A and B are shown apart, each in its own frame.
Chain A
């Protein structure tokens, strides 16, 4: 049973999209913690 090109593309694309979101969310967390004085 072989994975199709379409399924491989879907898998990698979704993974890439989530990985793009990660640094954005981290920066939002960082700003929120900084504003609330809860960074450290």
Chain B
């Protein structure tokens, strides 16, 4: 693949944009994080985040490179159902709203999703959960780091590895400096940039190409993209729905926000974020349907979004899409760095190796965790191993297996540890079998179905009688 031929920005302009926004995010992150007090302030922004910042951070974190770059890719490969299936990712945000409220009530002093699984189900389930959660977190980190390199390469011709390195380094730096306050504060500005940019690109695509011309060209050259009965795409739709729910229900990215939001904010913030997120994959993705009308040669499906923007709008379009995707990448990378380092710090470092660690020691270690995590992600991103969507959907088998153990564990006293552990292991195993034997679009579907069956059956056969007070009392005992 020679992306230099399609690059519409010169490297100097690319470097100027990268430098300007890098400086902005680092200064803003450091400024916002200056008032973080103690470990709770650094990890959870003082647990008083309001509705505006809460809604924006949920939206921005969920609008990742996978939305701004993989939504056009999926529309290009699966047509209308590709982008509609992607927009069902918003259901996960909306369904998490009641969970966020429940989490805040049951665990007013909790720190991580691992805390909940350990206290609710015990150590064996906790370790299985940590394995799944950390694998997913690294998969997501690598997919976004790779997206950063692909974007910079596609739009400016700057080497993939250099672009990826710069974007990762900037996010690591400001997350280290300001903790969750920096992450949430920058997310607000990044959300506004993303939304305005996506709408501007969509509007220009509509006015430059028009729906009728776009429709006629797709019908002539790629009619399957307009087919509403495309079987693989319909499977993808349901698979993506469950994948999104699994990602959100288990990931500490969303749990840490539930802990960080001011009392009463979690439910409204997640619901509002889901409603406003739903149309974004359609707005970002439909531009891929202009490819036949524009007679565009797309050398790699995961570059279709930036290439269409560059073709439609020239260098100003390339600048716009560059800024939008940089904001989308940063808003998710910072969240993932913060939440995953929290999980490693609390559940691995303190939970397994240093149970007596003081708050000061943990606060110091938190900074090093973010740095180390960024370094490992960088190493994994260096070889561009697979396309973004492939990497993303490989993880579907893992995360979908956690939906039922998490939801049942939060609301049903009778859900039991053995059932939760088995549901995650068997769901993941059979979901992966589906991924390799059938296709990526069934991995989450099979995983969630198996997990559901096991949780329901085990709860019915061996009901537990969990005391909810154990979640609050024990978590208050933390340092």
Contacts and interface: CB of A to CB of B under 8 A. Distances in A.
B191 A40 contact: no
Contact of B215 (A8, A25, A32): A8
Contacts of B1: none
Contact of A19 (B45, B48, B181, B195): B195
Nearest to A39: B50
B39 interface: no
Interface string A1-40: 1111110110110111011111101110110110000111
Interface stretch (B96-104, B273-281, B305-313, B354-362): B273-281
Nearest to A6: B211
Contact of A26 (B181, B191, B227): B191
A23 B203 contact: no
Given A19-B283, A40-B181, A5 B215 contact: yes
A2 B418 CA distance: 47
A18 B279 contact: yes
B276 A39 contact: no
Contacts of A14: 279
Given A18-B276, A18-B279, A38 B228 contact: no
B195 A16 contact: no
A16 B283 contact: yes
Main secondary structure of the interface of A (DSSP, over half): helix
Interface residues of B, number: 46
A24 to B, nearest CB: 9
Contacts of A23: 191-192, 195-196
A12 B286 contact: yes
A3 B282 contact: no
B212 to A, nearest CB: 5
A39 B53 contact: yes
Main secondary structure of the interface of B (DSSP, over half): helix
Contact of A12 (B46, B192, B195, B206): B206
A22 B59 contact: yes
A23 B229 CA distance: 34
Contacts of B229: 1
A32 B268 CA distance: 15
A29 B52 contact: yes
B52 A32 contact: yes
A30 B283 contact: no
Interface string B284-304: 001001000000000000000
Contacts of A25: 272, 276
B203 to A, nearest CB: 7
Given A16-B202, A38-B51, A5 B211 contact: yes
Given A32-B52, A33-B51, A40-B45, A11 B282 contact: yes
A16 B279 contact: yes
A24 B80 CA distance: 28
Interface string B180-222: 0100000010011001101100110010000110111001000
Nearest to A36: B50
Contacts of B262: 38
Contacts of A6: 211
A26 B226 contact: no
A28 to B, nearest CB: 8
A37 to B, nearest CB: 9
Contacts of A16: 199, 202-203, 206, 279, 283
B233 to A, nearest CB: 12
20 contacts: A3-B80, A5-B215, A5-B216, A6-B211, A8-B214, A15-B279, A15-B283, A18-B275, A19-B195, A19-B199, A19-B279, A22-B59, A25-B272, A26-B56, A26-B59, A29-B51, A33-B51, A38-B48, A40-B45, A40-B49
Interface of B: 45-46, 48-53, 55-56, 59, 80, 87, 181, 188, 191-192, 195-196, 198-199, 202-203, 206, 211-212, 214-216, 219, 223, 226-229, 262, 272, 275-276, 278-280, 282-283, 286, 289
* 6 smallest beta-carbon distances between A and B, as pairs: A15-B279, A29-B52, A5-B215, A30-B52, A15-B282, A9-B211
Given A22-B59, A29-B55, 11 more contacts: A1-B229, A15-B282, A16-B279, A18-B276, A22-B195, A26-B191, A27-B192, A32-B51, A32-B52, A33-B51, A38-B48
